[in-house]
Structure 1
Amino acid sequence: MNAVEIEEALSVLAEQPFDAQEFPFSFLEAFGNKITTIKRLRSGTSNKSDVGGVLQTNNIHIATADPGGVTEKLATLRASPATARGKVRFILATDGDMFEAEDLQTGETVACAYADFSAHFGFFLPLAGISYTKEIKEIEMDMRAARRLNQLYVTLLSDNPDWGTADRRPDMNHFMARLIFCFFAEDTGIFAKGLFTTTLQQMSASDWSITHEIIGEIFRAMNIPTTHEGQVDDRYRRAASIRSWANAFPYVNGGLFSGNLDVPRFSRIARTYLLHIGGLDWRKINPDIFGSMIQAVADDEERGAVGMHYTSVPNILKVLNPLFLDDLREKLEEAGGNLRKLLNLRNRMAKIRVFDPACGSGNFLVIAYKEIRAVEAEVNRRRDEKDRKSDIPLTNFRGIELHDFPAEIARLALIIAEFQCDVLYRGQQLALNEFLPLSAENWITRGNALQLDWLSICPPGGTGVKLVGNNLFSTPLDQAQIDFENEGGETYICGNPPYSGQSEMSAREKDDLAAVFARTTVAWKSLDYVFGWFQKAVEFCSEGAACAAFVATNSICQGQQVPAFWQPCLNSGAKIHFARTSFKWKNLAQNNAGVTVVVVGLTYQPLPAKLFVEDGGDFPTERKVDLIGPYLIPDRDTIIHKVSAPINGLHPMDYGSKPADGGGLIIRSNEYLEIENEIVRRFIKKYLGSDEYIDGRLRYCLWIASDEVEEALTYPFIRDRVELVRGFRAKSTKAKTREQAATAYAFAEIRHGQSSGDDIPLIIPIHTSENRSVLPVGALERGAVVSNAAFALYNAPLWNLSLIASRLHLIWIATVCGKLETRYRYSNTLGWNTFPVPPLTEKNKADLTRCAEDILLAREAHFPATIGDLYDPEKMPADLREAHERNDEVLERIYIGRRFRNDTERLEKLFDLYTKMTASAGAAKKRKAGATA
């Protein structure tokens, strides 16, 4: 179970009547324990409690208490010998009225009313194998709110099917945004405390079926002014015949309550969900990431995992800090108490624009706003101007979003963030005085970011924009009319654009890229969809004082995408001014590995030093470098291109042999076993491609030499199969294949090189899992045939296997060849032919040969385990792992005399050698050309 499912299960348990006998088992069920596990605990088979409770070894010791005895019962659990023997992490006691628990590992405790214990679900997540981090603790309330909103949304759509149609869905989404505002407003002082929920509860108490009418009247009231010419005046409310109980709601404006004020009808269950949402404390809602969770409510595909897909604050700051926030904090530190410098910094921040052209529900914009406000608040504190109104306008935080609901939530999240910052830095009263009515200025544009003009939406020197929208919450959105100067300002483009890979793009996405790159020479058909955002960001930055930084899958700095995009990009004068190497962009789903991403910052501005961050998990390392290359290697801007033959002195590598046979030459394992004639078997060899080699599956093929054809065809089994091949090739649309019908006994393309086909080929899978720590190269038995679904080295010395099985080679392949989906994609022309190898002595080759033999012997010792089994990261045998460690040790000492510290250092050395290798090859080519002339 994931975190959201656990929270829901605990919420249901907390709402049910307390049953002291059943509570421990129900609690454990909420964390995904199997029925058989619960049954063993219930029967006492696995229950090790010595205090009449339930003890699950290595997890938790639970006991129910007599009324008023919870604290004492918890102390009993703590002192229990069984608790120590069972190595439990948690102890828990409750009497159905109070609830207390302790994490014995961290010392943290929980004490609350029984009805509220589900609010602390994150505390117990380790019971489900989910780490309870500070990050989870901070969003517990957001997840609860998102889940309850999700329940309401689904119920309303079920009760009002017409609201789920394409035409009505925008109305439904707009309605949900209005509800969110009302719940937030009644808990933060914008409305009277609990006004919205209490009014709903009281007015529909006797008839739940009129809930929609009550909400509609409240919404109508908030769209009608309560003043005239600056003075309190109820003339407009009286003219509109607003009901007296709705008059307590203020005028909100800003377009949030304008337009269609229809409200879906509520069933009794829907009304109950509505009141449950109102019962939450919305002061604890974080607009930073809450928007992402709310967005999932309106997304049919995402709703099942509501709360699972969001961009965490620490990850967002990995983009925003080096982009501009670190610099602001440094300037604040430099300013100290100097009033002039502090004023200059504040004036600078007032002109900073943050632009997210794939803003979703506004996470990046909200975090950027809050962080800038924090710096501004410190400036004001040092200048003794704490009550000063903020100079940071929301209009400087702009975004583009394709869909209407997240765009609406983004605007709402920014409004909430502004109010929360005002309360935090200026006080509740000043914040309330200036909050309503909402401004009608619009900062989020709804549309396709790759089809819109970014310069008109967020001009870098800023004198306004071209298109005009109605108001802040109009739907659908156009671009806004914001007319104010921003001369001398800075613009920072940021975000987390869509990731669609080149092979996954829809027709519309391909059209988008074609339009973006129409005026360039970039070979865009080989690029991922995200490069549309990079290209538009580069064009934007070339026009003024702007920098950009995006999160994207690490494939953008690997393989063919580097020469295709980065070479022309960097040749245009753009520079990578900071980068963060690969890290996992995780969510809260249980055991979720997350997508591997990088952060890349781009600019045309003359920045003397570039920031390079090697992620390293919990311990990232930062350093300033002169330049960052397109493969995200510091001080190396070399780009690797395909070459048809090795430039490193290594043995040539090619694809395996291609049958083009219609199945005639290929023999399945069961068919081979049925062949009893030993002479027929003499014309058969083992036949392996990537899948067969990794999975340990056997296939065979007919392999008939030209001088053996006459004899082979005397056997009916062979003759029938050759005729099948002949017929298949004769019908081909390709002339060359039809010509090969004359030699139907042989493979269409034989790539054994100059060998007789009786050598020991090395096989290299074309694709392999990213979870493997080495490339699964292998040595086949003598005479085996490698299929064209793999690469092969023929007649190559065994020490070549040592090179391919090394960490050095894996990192090279991952970087210069890239990936297919998430799997490593091998290339002979791009990866093997270019792999830098220092001059090897005979002793070096002998040492590497021994390493290769040790690897093969370690595999042999675990027969019949397959390569897939052996290289499963969770099951890799210790002796095989040690053999690979020795191989890396020997090889890396050949390169630099010691082990490399990390992969970045490996790549730096490889790129150094590549530069020298290509320079030498170029010089030799010139000498040869000169001699010929």
Structure 2
Amino acid sequence: MNPVEIAEAVSELAEKPFDQETFPYAFLEAFGFKQTTIRRLKSGETNASDLPNGVLRRGSIHMLVCERGAVSSSLRALRESPRTASAKARFILATDGVDFEADDLVGGNTIACAYPQFSDRFGFFLPLAGISTTKQISDSDFDIKATGRLNRLYVQLLKDNPDWGVAEKRNEMNHFMARLIFCFFAEDTDIFSGEALFTSTIERMTAGVQTNTHDIISEIFRAMNEQDKESVEPKLPRWAVDFPYVNGGLFSGSVEVPVFSKIARSYLLHIGGLDWTKINPDIFGSMIQAVAEEDERSALGMHYTSVPNILKVLNPLFLDDLHAQLEEAGDNSRKLLNLRNRMARIRIFDPACGSGNFLVIAYKEMRKIEAQINKRRGEADRRSDIPLTNFRGIELRHFAAEIARLALIIAEYQCDVLYRGQKEALRDFLPLDAMNWITQGNALQLDWLSICPPTGTGVKLQGDDLFSSPLEQAQIDFENEGGETYICGNPPYLGSTWQDDQQKADLKAIFAHRTKSWKSLDYVAGWFMKAADYGTQTNAVSAFVSTNSICQGQQVPILWPLIFATGHEIAFAHTSFKWANLASHKAGVTVVIVGISNHAEKIRQLFSIADNDASIVKEAENINAYLVPGQNVVVDKLSRPMTDVADMDFGSKPVDGGNLFLNFTEKHALVQRSPAAAQFIHEFSNSEEFINGKQRFCLWIGEDEVADAREIDEIARRLDAVAEMRLASPKLQTQQSASTPHRFGEVRHRKSHYTIVIPRVSSENRDFLPVGLVSGGTIVGDRNFALYDAPLWNLALIASRLHWVWIGTVCVRMRTDFSYSNTLGWNTFPVPTLTEKQKADLTRCAEDILLAREHYFPATIADMYDPERMDKEFPLVREAHERNDDTLERIYIGRRFRNDTERLEKLFELYTKMTSSSATTRKVGAA
């Protein structure tokens, strides 16, 4: 379940008559617990409580429904219960149906409220559903609840008005919803005079009729579009005259409203009953945009982008500099004025703005700084000099674009109330300004210079009828002469596999004349290239959130030389971290943040997360495209290792149609019938067998054994089937191999005592690459790489965190998984010259890792390296890897590295030195 679904379920529970017996189980059901789990709790099978009538779900919550007036004492009993601690309950909850109290034993927070109001605090309990919450999320219960209610209304209106769901009517429907949201906000924040003016008017004027709801709303909208209400024809009804003139494009144009059924009217009034003063445009807009997208409605509430994550982009982009100037200005009136004037000309441009998160946060942060300036200058109630028109965006979806502008309007009003007071805010709020800042369209097709032009020129392009804004804004741009432009955002990522025809066409238009390899690029690369091109005409600095693949593997040599060629360099960056959403039990995508500029400071900032989750900021003279301090180099493939490590080769490829393979049952049956067959059967290991411990066998027949093997009927039948399959192949090479059906299509196996095996593709979620040993008689498949009879210290290198970060950085990705490469990853891996003592130490480390795994037999690699299970269930494996990393990293720098960024910095330093006299090092751009 997602937060919106949970909010609805909890609200329904709170509205029902309280049932002492069923409440604990209904509460768990509202947070997505399965019926089987609840049944086992009810039966007492899994109820670990030691209190009468208590319900304890291990690892989750201990609840007690008590007698009237005993809530506080019951909560104390829950807190003191030995079972609460031993069962590791995170929450304790007590209620009597009148009062409600709960504690978060991990977070240290508590709630106490009347029973019906506990639904307003559902965010407190989101960890029960596996949703990790930040303070901002738990403080945004209203936004999540409002989103759910609006979604119910939207779906009901489409059900009542099917014609409003067609493509031709969709924009009008979305515009209608934006108008409703404004009205709900306005009536609770005194923008409309009179208590709950919008909702109460609809309720009063539709009482006993109800089917005329659409007519009443239409007249209200018409009133807000008329400045001279007395002279308008047809005349407005007296009850509508109280609504103020709003316009600003929001209420201009058609006032047609979809028909409301009794159910839809009920939903509307219910939404109006919420306290819209609590709306938070930071989070609300990003969730409400999904209401209008049918294919996204199932993910409702998962579009939240946390403010701390957004600030990871905005702070180094420009906010840190503004804060530094504010601190330097102190109370100096002239310096403060200069800073304020500078801020009034700063433009923030998000060419993938969605519902406006980045723009809203940037606006609020700038208003916060401006408020401090005004306070120090004795002008606390001064009207803001920061115009909303300086916050510009492009968004593909119509409703998201509408919500982005509405979110900025709400943010402006809230900032005015906060910094100037309610009276001043109301005085200046209406009518709304008709000028537009958000353009609806395809950002990769539009000319950014026409939407956010160089200062002194007019806007040449606007979106289609968005708030009916004027086509010309030259006077705004003229006033912004000499200002700065900062481009930011979180564009769609979409690897090449997932791009549709239109998206491929977008990239082709941007890249085809620059490189033949553009088809391998992620969709987000288009935004980086457009930003670099834009920067050649302006003094803009740009920073985007992107999947980390754009700074790894094959995308580096394709994209970054093109960006560097425009004169841009990486001004700052944040290495890989999780950009999480609100989906329960799901990790967020791994992203990086990259800022580019053609006038970057001499010292660049590289942000990263340490192994202990602490934030680290490293200063560097240059940051390369792999997001590592150092020269702008590209790692190219090598046919042989550049250091003293063993040769690595692919495994053998069968090309047999499955005819050379046997499972355990087939092997056993064949040997029973024909004992001589045993000599031709070998164990087989591909990545699936190696990682998941599956047993599989293959026929492996030497050239001098073919005649004997064919004496066995089943083997002869299988070889004939291989020959038939190969002859039918359209590939000439495969057809030619039909004459030797006893051989794999590609044979690389060598006789050895043992083979070091590493899968070609493995999950990035593991902390270490899944490397191991198989016996020399095992045939290694082509989905693995193999090192035959290699010194065991080679395994220690591959199993290290150092090698993990190198592979993750320089090798190609298979979706988000690591795609190992011998030529690009192993042969280029920088290893210092090792002494015999160091090789012996690493050999012992490799042995310790293998012995630790053996200790947990029959657990598989998949089991032992599962990040959720490794530390708890297989601690000896973790300890062996820690010793291995400690030993190896001391060889490199005499101590453990602090984090992966430091590891990569050292590896690239070594790589550059080792290849400096060779043609294998390709430098790109200026270092």
TM over 0.5, shorter chain: yes
Counterpart residue number, 2:176:
175
Counterpart residue number, 2:623:
628
Q: Is the 8 A contact 1:124 1:132 kept in 2?
A: no
Q: Is the 8 A contact 2:801 2:885 kept in 1?
A: yes
What CA distance in whole angstroms lies between the structure 1 residues aligned with 2:368 and 2:849? 57
Counterpart residue number, 1:929:
none
Q: Is the 8 A contact 2:532 2:566 kept in 1?
A: no
What CA distance in whole angstroms lies between the structure 1 residues aligned with 2:772 and 2:286? 46
Question: What do the CA deviations read for 1:280-314 (whole angstroms, capped 9, x no partner)?
Answer: 11111011221111101112222223222221111
Q: Is the 8 A contact 2:607 2:616 kept in 1?
A: yes
What CA distance in whole angstroms lies between the structure 1 residues aligned with 2:736 and 2:44? 77
1:535, distance to aligned residue in structure 2 (A): 0.4
What CA distance in whole angstroms lies between the structure 2 residues aligned with 1:55 and 1:524? 56
Code of the residue aligned with 2:267 in structure 1: it is Y
Counterpart residue number, 2:747:
750
Question: What do the CA deviations read for 1:105-158 (whole angstroms, capped 9, x no partner)?
Answer: 666443333332211112233444544531222211111111111111111112
Provide the identity percentage. Answer: 60
| SS of equivalent residue, structure 1 residue 745 | coil
Size of the alignment, in residue pairs?
A: 907
Rate the CA distance shift 1:572–1:471 in 2: closer, same or farther, 3 A: closer
Q: Is the 8 A contact 2:14 2:115 kept in 1?
A: yes
* Counterpart mapping for 1:639-718 below 5 A: 639-676=634-671, 677-718=674-715
What CA distance in whole angstroms lies between the structure 2 residues aligned with 1:25 and 1:790? 49
Code of the residue aligned with 2:358 in structure 1: it is F
| SS of equivalent residue, structure 2 residue 496 | coil
What CA distance in whole angstroms lies between the structure 1 residues aligned with 2:481 and 2:75? 67
Code of the residue aligned with 2:219 in structure 1: it is E
When structure 1 is superposed on structure 2, of 429-438 and 317-326 the one drifting more is: 429-438
When structure 1 is superposed on structure 2, of 812-821 and 106-115 the one drifting more is: 106-115
Rate the CA distance shift 1:587–1:534 in 2: closer, same or farther, 3 A: same
| SS of equivalent residue, structure 2 residue 567 | coil
Code of the residue aligned with 1:220 in structure 2: it is R
Say if 2:335 is the partner of 1:341. yes
Counterpart residue number, 1:201:
203
TM (norm. structure 1) is 0.93
What CA distance in whole angstroms lies between the structure 2 residues aligned with 1:923 and 1:98? 72
Counterpart residue number, 1:878:
875
Rate the CA distance shift 1:459–1:242 in 2: closer, same or farther, 3 A: same
| SS of equivalent residue, structure 1 residue 316 | helix
1:162, distance to aligned residue in structure 2 (A): 2.0
| SS of equivalent residue, structure 1 residue 793 | strand
Code of the residue aligned with 2:661 in structure 1: it is I
What CA distance in whole angstroms lies between the structure 2 residues aligned with 1:502 and 1:412? 34
Code of the residue aligned with 2:635 in structure 1: it is I
Counterpart residue number, 2:239:
245
What CA distance in whole angstroms lies between the structure 2 residues aligned with 1:469 and 1:639? 41
Question: What do the CA deviations read for 1:170-191 (whole angstroms, capped 9, x no partner)?
Answer: 2211111110010011011111
Counterpart residue number, 1:134:
135
Say if 2:858 is the partner of 1:853. no
What CA distance in whole angstroms lies between the structure 2 residues aligned with 1:600 and 1:902? 19
Q: Is the 8 A contact 2:719 2:742 kept in 1?
A: yes
Counterpart residue number, 1:509:
503
Say if 2:757 is the partner of 1:769. no
What CA distance in whole angstroms lies between the structure 2 residues aligned with 1:698 and 1:343? 75
What CA distance in whole angstroms lies between the structure 2 residues aligned with 1:57 and 1:724? 56
Q: Is the 8 A contact 1:422 1:431 kept in 2?
A: yes
* Counterpart mapping for 1:7-406 below 5 A: 7-35=7-35, 38=38, 46=47, 48=49, 50=51, 59-66=61-68, 69=69, 73-78=71-76, 83=81, 85-87=83-85, 90-103=91-104, 108-192=109-193, 193-226=195-228, 234-236=230-232, 239-406=233-400
1:630, distance to aligned residue in structure 2 (A): 1.1
What CA distance in whole angstroms lies between the structure 2 residues aligned with 1:316 and 1:81? 38
When structure 1 is superposed on structure 2, of 13-22 and 273-282 the one drifting more is: 13-22
| SS of equivalent residue, structure 1 residue 550 | strand
Question: What do the CA deviations read for 1:561-586 (whole angstroms, capped 9, x no partner)?
Answer: 11111133224421111111111111
Code of the residue aligned with 1:768 in structure 2: it is S
| SS of equivalent residue, structure 1 residue 563 | helix
Say if 2:725 is the partner of 1:731. no
* Counterpart mapping for 1:446-461 below 5 A: 446-461=440-455
Counterpart residue number, 1:588:
582
Code of the residue aligned with 1:830 in structure 2: it is L
Q: Is the 8 A contact 1:441 1:472 kept in 2?
A: no
1:712, distance to aligned residue in structure 2 (A): 3.0
1:435, distance to aligned residue in structure 2 (A): 1.6
Say if 2:433 is the partner of 1:432. no
What CA distance in whole angstroms lies between the structure 2 residues aligned with 1:826 and 1:52? 56
Counterpart residue number, 2:609:
615
Code of the residue aligned with 2:694 in structure 1: it is R
TM (norm. structure 2) is 0.93
When structure 1 is superposed on structure 2, of 382-391 and 869-878 the one drifting more is: 869-878
Q: Is the 8 A contact 2:71 2:100 kept in 1?
A: no
| SS of equivalent residue, structure 1 residue 86 | helix
Say if 2:408 is the partner of 1:409. no
Question: What do the CA deviations read for 1:865-901 (whole angstroms, capped 9, x no partner)?
Answer: 2222222223332222222222222222222233222
What CA distance in whole angstroms lies between the structure 2 residues aligned with 1:276 and 1:555? 45
Task: For structure 1, list consecutive stretches of 5 or more residues without a partner in the other structure.
Answer: 227-232, 925-933
1:920, distance to aligned residue in structure 2 (A): 5.0
1:557, distance to aligned residue in structure 2 (A): 1.0
Relative contact order (C-alpha < 8 Å, sep 6+): which is higher? 2
Counterpart residue number, 2:783:
789
| SS of equivalent residue, structure 1 residue 289 | helix
Counterpart residue number, 2:924:
none
Rate the CA distance shift 1:716–1:77 in 2: closer, same or farther, 3 A: closer
Q: Is the 8 A contact 1:77 1:83 kept in 2?
A: no
What CA distance in whole angstroms lies between the structure 1 residues aligned with 2:713 and 2:278? 81
Code of the residue aligned with 2:186 in structure 1: it is A
| SS of equivalent residue, structure 1 residue 235 | coil
Code of the residue aligned with 2:84 in structure 1: it is G
What CA distance in whole angstroms lies between the structure 1 residues aligned with 2:826 and 2:861? 22
Q: Is the 8 A contact 1:672 1:700 kept in 2?
A: yes
Q: Is the 8 A contact 1:628 1:635 kept in 2?
A: yes
What CA distance in whole angstroms lies between the structure 1 residues aligned with 2:532 and 2:265? 50
What CA distance in whole angstroms lies between the structure 2 residues aligned with 1:106 and 1:33? 22
1:759, distance to aligned residue in structure 2 (A): 4.8
Counterpart residue number, 2:925:
none
Task: For structure 2, list consecutive stretches of 5 or more residues without a partner in the other structure.
Answer: 922-927
Counterpart residue number, 1:806:
800
What CA distance in whole angstroms lies between the structure 2 residues aligned with 1:75 and 1:418? 46
Code of the residue aligned with 2:303 in structure 1: it is H
Counterpart residue number, 1:542:
536
What CA distance in whole angstroms lies between the structure 2 residues aligned with 1:585 and 1:750? 44
Code of the residue aligned with 1:113 in structure 2: it is A
Counterpart residue number, 1:888:
885
Question: What do the CA deviations read for 1:844-870 (whole angstroms, capped 9, x no partner)?
Answer: 222222322232233233333222222
What CA distance in whole angstroms lies between the structure 2 residues aligned with 1:633 and 1:270? 56
What CA distance in whole angstroms lies between the structure 1 residues aligned with 2:91 and 2:719? 70
Say if 2:716 is the partner of 1:719. yes
* Counterpart mapping for 1:818-833 below 5 A: 818-833=812-827
